[in-house]
Amino acid sequence: MESNYILPVEKEETKRLAKAWFFLGVVSLLLSGFFSILLVVSRTPAIQSLIPFIDFFHTALVVHVDLSVLIWFTSFASILWTLIARNVNKLDWLAFYLSVSGTFLIVLTPFIMDGHPLMNNYIPILQTPLFYFALSLYTVGLLIRIVRTLFSSMPFNASSPTTALTSGVWLGALAALLAILFFLYTLFKVPDDLPAVAWFEVLFWGGGHILQFTHMLLVFVVWIVLLQQIKTRLIFTPAILFVCLLISFIPVLYSGVIYWQYDVASSEFHNQFTQLMRFGSLTTLPLGLIIFINLFKTLPAEGPLLPLKLALWCSAALFASGGVLGFMIEGVNVVIPAHYHGSIVGITLAFMGFSFYLLPVFDYPLKDRTLKLAKIQPIVYAVGQFMHISGLAWSGGYGVKRKTAGAAQGLDSLPEIAGMALMGMGGLIAIIGGILFVVIVYLAVKQKKG
C-alpha cells in the first residue's frame, strides 16, 4: 500500500497560529529584501560610487542576515512545529507575540541609533541595548514555541507516514533547543577580555552550527511533502524515513562532545565545529539520495502543482550547489558567501514552494494571475541566485574578500570586476524573485478577501 506523507491541519486554532507565523516569516523576508537592495548596490561596480551612505553597508548586512536567515527560517520552522502539536493554548500565542515584538525592534534599531555593527558569523550583531533586547525577546518567544512542541507533539509511530514526518519536525525542534541552550552555556564561558567581534563569534559559533541541522531536517520534511503533493510515487517506507532522519540527527549529538572536550574560545573548538559542518552533513546523504532518486520519478505537473514542482527542483539544485561549494572554500573570500547563499537559498526556495502548498490550506487558493506568477517565481529567484553565487565563487577564486563593499573590495582586474558584476546582476534578479513571492502572497490574500 502506498504511503501518504502529509502534515494534517485538523484544528482551526492550529491553522490560525500557523498562519500567523507564516505571515511573520513573509514580512521578515520582505524587509530583508529591502536591506538586500542596499547590499547588492553597494558592491556592484559603477553603481557603488553613487551610494551616499556606503557606511550603512554593514548595518544593512546585519539586519538583512538576521531577517532572511534567523527570523525567516525560524518563523517557518514555527509553522511546522505548530502543525505537529496536539493543541494550541495561550503560551503558544505568547510565544508568537514575543517574537513579533522582537522582529519589529530589530528592524527599528538601525533607524533610531548608531548600530555599531559586528559581522560575526550566524547571528551578526548591532551593539546597542535595544538590539540586544530585541534579539532576546525574539529568542524567548522561539524558546517557548520549541518547548511547547517537544512536550505536546503527536506520539511517534515509525510505521505511520505522518508520524515519520513528525519525527523530523520534532528532531528539528530538539536541535534548535540544544542550540539555544549552548548559546546560554557559552554566554557564561566566553572570556571577558576578547574583542567584541571575537566575543560574539565565539558566542554563536557552536550553537549556530547546530541550528543548521535544524534547517536541514526541516527542509527534508518539506521536500517530502512537496514530492507527495505533486503525485510522486515515493519509493521508501515510513520506517526507512524515520531511520534516515535519526542518522541525520547524529551530528547534533556529537556537538555536545565538542562542548565537553574543548574550551569554547580555543582554536580546537572552532575547528571541530567547522569539521562537524563539513563532514557531519554527510549523515544526510542517505535521505538526500532517496529524495534525489524520487525527484526523477516526478510526473509532469500543471495548474497549482507546477509551482510546487518548480520550487522543489530549484531548491534541490541550489542546496546541492551550496554543498559542493562548501568543499571548495580556501581562505577568507567570497567563496564562503557563495557556499552559504546556495544552501540558504535552497532552503528558502523549499519554504517558498511549501508556502504555495500552505496558502490554499490557509484558505488563500492560487488562481488566475496569482497562479501565473507562482509558475515563474521559482525560476526567476533561482536563476538570479545561481548568477549571484556563480559571480561570488568566480571572484573568490581571484581572492576578493568577503564582508567588504565599495573600494575595500579591491577589484583590480577584469575577471574580478566581471565576477562581482555577475553577482550584482544575479542579486538584483533574485530580489525581483523575492518580491514576486511577497506579491503572490499579497494577491492570494487579497483575492480571498475580495
- Structural contact between residues 339 and 399, judged by C-beta atoms closer than 8 angstroms: no
- Residue with the three cell numbers 573600494: 407
Cα–Cα distance between 287 and 300 in angstroms, integer?
23
- Structural contact between residues 68 and 29, judged by C-beta atoms closer than 8 angstroms: yes
In a domain, 354, yes or no: yes
- pLDDT of 59: 81
Could you tell me the residue range of the domain that residue 449 belongs to?
301-450
In a domain, 142, yes or no: no
In a domain, 440, yes or no: yes
Given CA atoms 374, 380, 386, 389 in this order, what sign does their dihedral have? Answer: negative
Q: Using the predicted structure, report yes or no on whether residue 341 has a pLDDT greater than 90.
A: no
Report the candidate in 406, 403, 402 with the shortest Cα–Cα distance to residue 52: 406
**Better-scored residue on pLDDT, 194 or 411:** 194
**In whole angstroms, how far apart are CA 206 and each of 8, 253, 263, 448?**
34, 12, 11, 44
State the alpha helices, DSSP H only, in 188-284: 196-229, 238-261, 267-280
Q: Which three cell numbers stand for residue 185?
A: 552555556
Report the candidate in 347, 287, 290 with the shortest Cα–Cα distance to residue 316: 347
Of the segments 267-281, 286-300, 353-367, 379-393, which one has the largest average pLDDT value?
Answer: 353-367
Q: Using the predicted structure, report yes or no on whether residue 41 has a pLDDT greater than 70.
A: no
Query: Residue 126 carries which DSSP code?
Result: E
Cα–Cα distance between 304 and 367 in angstroms, integer?
8
Classify residue 7 as exposed, middle or buried by CB count within 10 Å of its CB (0-12, 13-18, 19+). Answer: buried
- pLDDT of 259: 96
- Residue with the three cell numbers 561570488: 392
**Better-scored residue on pLDDT, 304 or 77:** 77
Q: Using the predicted structure, report yes or no on whether residue 222 has a pLDDT greater than 60.
A: yes
| 153: phi then psi, degrees, rounded to nearest 5 | -85, 170
In a domain, 67, yes or no: no
- pLDDT of 163: 86
Q: Using the predicted structure, report yes or no on whether residue 332 has a pLDDT greater than 70.
A: no
Coil, strand or helix at 125: strand
How many separate domains does the chain show?
A: 1
Q: Using the predicted structure, report yes or no on whether residue 219 has a pLDDT greater than 90.
A: yes
Gyration radius from the chain CA atoms: 21
Coil, strand or helix at 118: strand
Q: Using the predicted structure, report yes or no on whether residue 254 has a pLDDT greater than 90.
A: yes
- Structural contact between residues 399 and 382, judged by C-beta atoms closer than 8 angstroms: no
In a domain, 270, yes or no: no
In a domain, 402, yes or no: yes
- pLDDT of 54: 45
Q: Using the predicted structure, report yes or no on whether residue 397 has a pLDDT greater than 60.
A: no
In a domain, 21, yes or no: no
For the chain, report the end-to-end CA distance as a whole number of angstroms. 42
Q: Using the predicted structure, report yes or no on whether residue 299 has a pLDDT greater than 70.
A: yes
- Structural contact between residues 391 and 321, judged by C-beta atoms closer than 8 angstroms: no
Angle at the Cα of 140 from the Cα atoms of 138 and 142, rounded to 5 degrees: 70
Cα–Cα distance between 391 and 165 in angstroms, integer?
37
Residue 116 makes CB contacts below 8 A (sequence gap 6+) with 126, 127, 128
Cα–Cα distance between 435 and 120 in angstroms, integer?
28
| 396: phi then psi, degrees, rounded to nearest 5 | -60, -35
Residue 288 makes CB contacts below 8 A (sequence gap 6+) with 220
DSSP string, 367-391: -HHHHHHHHHHHHHHHHHHHHHHHH
In a domain, 349, yes or no: yes
Instruction: Give 137-185 pLDDT, tens digit per residue.
Output: 999 999 999 999 999 876 677 778 888 899 999 999 999 999 999 999 9
Cα–Cα distance between 299 and 59 in angstroms, integer?
45
Of the segments 108-112, 191-195, 402-406, which one has the largest average pLDDT value?
Answer: 191-195
Structure confidence at residue 392 as a pLDDT band (50, 70, 90)? confident
